[in-house]
Structure 1
């Protein structure tokens, strides 16, 4: 029996190995190689140091500088090959390794932001497209969203209708921005670019808005900048003493001074040097539409800084002096004619036309600015009143009251006379044509060692605006106001400023 069992076992083993011989190497592990290259999907550039992971074995290698990787002697079967690299989306590829063969695959990896979506087109919220009569400070607001919640940066691009300048305001993170010191009467065009740092910027449509034409400032004055006189306008709050809405009206590269506004024509006349001559110009209250009025006969006299001119009451004409002659000219430059001429050759430096249009106050002086006189004449050149004459020292600052019964002027009561026209104690005076009296407006409040210059009545004539400065001739000049009755008080309105006008 044991012998039979042993024979059967031998037979079974023999048959088993015989069957294995018929099928090859069944039951033995076979091997092959897997190689590949990893590239960037856009541009097909090789990617170095990509982590390559085989599944299901989790074997891992890294690509070389050419993006090549190799798994040698791995078991023949189906694999999933995964490429992993920071900044890129994981990439998968299937591969079947065969016996003693080399399988090559290519992994094309996309940058991780390739699926990122652009922000929405910015919507311009305010000001409304086409809005007009805005102040010269405007807040721009807009809206844009990002589907991927990326941080957004904005750029504002601004153009205008008065020059070719393009302004770009960059790196904004908020959806609002305030534009200041915009030009009165100008139209602006603006758009927004938004960028998420990943996609191409998205640009909004273009919107426009217009600034109000008139700044509505009542005060005009001059500042010296870089050796040139520059005209400004401002508003002033008498309750809190705050200056606001300051507008530069003339170019800093041009010498412009002595602004005089006429409310009826709504124009500002002023003096400007052109071709080494002083001429009359006019402009709008926002500084636009500058027109030269005089041409053949410029303003000439003792000192151009001391010279003044006057509007006619209806704003149709201007009155100015050239040496010893007084001329009238239409505001369009036509109709030039002589109004008055001094008989003794005295120079005419200043004039002021009465509000009823019947008379003119003039100041005359010699070539050094002295031996002055203040006269009132009619339009036929007849002298009506000799207000001041035969005095030493400087005179100036003529301004007739609206009613015409008072004349505001300045006089240096020190009687000092010098070649440099230095004044030591110049005060404000009001002459009353009714009772022929003089009032010293500066008597109570003017500090010793200072001068009060270039006075003008306020529109309601309850106060006076003027320039106060040290008599050293080099210190700061301050435009100041003082009331004419009650508790007299001086208020400094504008610093480093001269030649005020208040209409």
Structure 2
């Protein structure tokens, strides 16, 4: 009996042991991930792409057909990552199921298409650059791409006051852009975005700069190539374009009191006076009638000494208007058979000087008159050869003008030896300032006094009428002639 009981206990213990061991064994399930790695752009299989997982299993590389297999993976969630040189890394979430093969396809972008791949450098204007001239050539450098083909850029420029960009340009293939319509004396910020195949692959920082103040640019002149007005701060200095219209813009005249400028512009095939003001260069037409007359180039207008009115020539009439274009008033009528073609107004003695012209281009006379048109006095008579461009010295005691010393009445208006002369209003003395300082075969033209009266600025050019026009400055006695601006004419100095 005892023997029987012991045997039963042994059997029960063995069964308990077996049961306990079976409970300690974990039944794991496994599956497989298999797939292909392709180029996103070309759709071609990529050989040698490195495949890894998280949680970690093992890493493999794709074969010549771009295929890979990861087997004996425990069931569960994985992130499969693929990487290859010159391509952007890519990852994909995959669920492994027991005894199943999960097929995936992953496409790798060209590395140049990865976000923020492009790094920008060498911005112009530079960060926090001040006194930046207008127009502005924005330029930048970049790196971080192995293939620069098909890359294009977006340029955005803003001001603190603007809701919308003041400049937005896309699809730029060059690393520069010329902006001509930015305001003077304004803070700006700019940024560049790089794209490839319509995908953003980088953006620059926001760079800040401030444009130069137009009032700090004393020299004004016209570029003969595009008939636009430019500003400059110094001799041979950078040129900052003031006008942007496609029409002809000529003969700038600075207001003696404010920063306003008037100039002649072609409108409906005739020359009208336009006013521009402010750092935004707001522009409007102010003359109700064209500046026109016999052989007239559109130069016949000037400011009043107080800067609130404008005189202008219209055939045989000399008109005065307010600077907003109102109050048209006839000041004077030219002698019979003659037109007014040039005018200046001095604050000293409140006198006006005018040039009149007859039917022929060389038929000119210069008169002085009171500001109301009375007491008209001839000071330069109709001598042989062309006489042009009379204006006052800053003290109102002299009138400067040009005359062709060759004394030839050319029917086409050619001048052979145009020189600068001054007329002393008190004594009537005439002085030749060009004298022996001017190069033979050239003409001195368009003279005006400097703001302090110590110098004159003028144009010199070949007497052929086809040569380049250059702007010079000389002392008021005609000495120390210096070249200031090449390929420029119609100077103004404020």
TM-score by length of 1: 0.68
The aligned counterpart of 1:28 is: none
In structure 1, runs of 5+ residues without a counterpart are 1-34, 53-59, 72-77, 92-102, 238-242
| Partner-residue secondary structure (3-state), 1:245 | coil
The aligned counterpart of 2:250 is: 257
Stretch deviating more after TM superposition (400-409 or 164-173): 164-173
The aligned counterpart of 2:219 is: 219
Aligned-pair CA distance for 1:184:
3.2
* Aligned counterpart for 2:169 among listed residues 151, 167, 174: 167
Aligned-pair CA distance for 1:349:
0.9
Structure 1 Cα separation of the partners of residues 464 and 421 of structure 2: 22
The aligned counterpart of 2:232 is: 234
For the pair shown, which has the larger CA radius of gyration, 1 or 2?
Answer: 1
Aligned-pair CA distance for 1:169:
8.8
Stretch deviating more after TM superposition (249-258 or 183-192): 183-192
Structure 2 Cα separation of the partners of residues 335 and 465 of structure 1: 33
The aligned counterpart of 1:12 is: none
The aligned counterpart of 2:276 is: 283
Q: Is the 8 A contact 1:84 1:90 kept in 2?
A: yes
Aligned-pair CA distance for 1:345:
3.1
* Aligned counterpart for 1:422 among listed residues 387, 409, 414: 414
The aligned counterpart of 2:447 is: 455
Aligned-pair CA distance for 1:155:
5.7
The yes-or-no answer on 1:136 pairing with 2:133 is yes
The yes-or-no answer on 1:405 pairing with 2:397 is yes
* Aligned counterpart for 1:482 among listed residues 461, 464, 474: 474
Structure 2 Cα separation of the partners of residues 217 and 369 of structure 1: 35
The aligned counterpart of 2:15 is: none
| Partner-residue secondary structure (3-state), 1:339 | strand
Structure 1 Cα separation of the partners of residues 143 and 467 of structure 2: 57
Structure 1 Cα separation of the partners of residues 240 and 46 of structure 2: 62
Question: How many aligned positions are there?
Answer: 427
* Aligned counterpart for 2:353 among listed residues 361, 386, 389: 361
Structure 2 Cα separation of the partners of residues 304 and 447 of structure 1: 28
Summarize the alignment of residues 164-203 of structure 1 with structure 2, pairs less than 5 Å apart: 165-167=167-169, 183-185=182-184, 188-193=188-193, 201=201
TM-score by length of 2: 0.70
| Partner-residue secondary structure (3-state), 1:444 | helix
Q: Root-mean-square deviation (CA), in Å?
A: 5.2
The yes-or-no answer on 1:298 pairing with 2:281 is no
Name the CA shift for 1:291/1:68 in 2 (closer, same or farther; >3 Å): closer
Q: Is the 8 A contact 1:351 1:361 kept in 2?
A: yes
Aligned-pair CA distance for 1:289:
0.9
The aligned counterpart of 2:342 is: 350
Q: Is the 8 A contact 2:138 2:179 kept in 1?
A: no
Name the CA shift for 1:368/1:156 in 2 (closer, same or farther; >3 Å): same
Aligned-pair CA distance for 1:123:
12
| Partner-residue secondary structure (3-state), 2:243 | coil
Name the CA shift for 1:213/1:368 in 2 (closer, same or farther; >3 Å): same
Stretch deviating more after TM superposition (391-400 or 364-373): 364-373
Aligned-pair CA distance for 1:430:
0.8
Aligned-pair CA distance for 1:133:
7.1
- Residue-by-residue CA offset, 1:365-421 (whole Å, 9 max, x unaligned): 202123322111002322354211141211111110111111111111222112211
The aligned counterpart of 1:466 is: 458
Aligned-pair CA distance for 1:476:
1.1
Aligned-pair CA distance for 1:356:
3.0
- Residue-by-residue CA offset, 1:75-130 (whole Å, 9 max, x unaligned): xxx999xx999669999xxxxxxxxxxx975576877999x9965999999999x9
Q: Is the 8 A contact 2:191 2:207 kept in 1?
A: yes
The yes-or-no answer on 1:498 pairing with 2:494 is no
The aligned counterpart of 1:39 is: 35
